[in-house]
Amino acid sequence: MDKQEILELRLKLGVTQEKFAHMLGASAVTINRWECGRAQPSRLYVKELKQLKANSGSYVCRREKHKES
């Protein structure tokens, strides 16, 4: 995944870099580096990012339901 895809995924999920990092088991500094193009995620993180992307629709729906409660 490139920096734009990572940023778009995080924004679609509506989370901060800190929350996104927590979801992936990474640091916020790492997320920032990926989004700025200063570093690339390892294969393990790419796999996790792709899974998050595949499930992002259901995550956003759950988040919206939680806001309504």
Report the distance separating Cα 16 and Cα 46, nearest Å. Answer: 19
37 within 8 A of 4, measured Cβ to Cβ: no
How many residues does the structure list for the chain?
Answer: 69
The structure tokens listed for 53 are 């992307």
Q: Domains of the chain: which residue ranges?
A: 3-68
Q: Above 50 in pLDDT, residue 64?
A: no
Quick: pLDDT tens for 1-59.
999 999 999 999 999 999 999 999 999 999 999 999 999 999 999 999 999 999 887 65
The pTM (predicted TM-score) of the whole model is 0.81
Has domain 3-68 been given CATH number 2.130.10.10? no
Q: Based on the number of CB atoms within 10 Å of its own CB, is 6 exposed (0-12), middle (13-18) or buried (19 or more)?
A: buried
Report, in this order, helix, strand and coil percent for the chain, each rounded to 5: 80, 0, 20
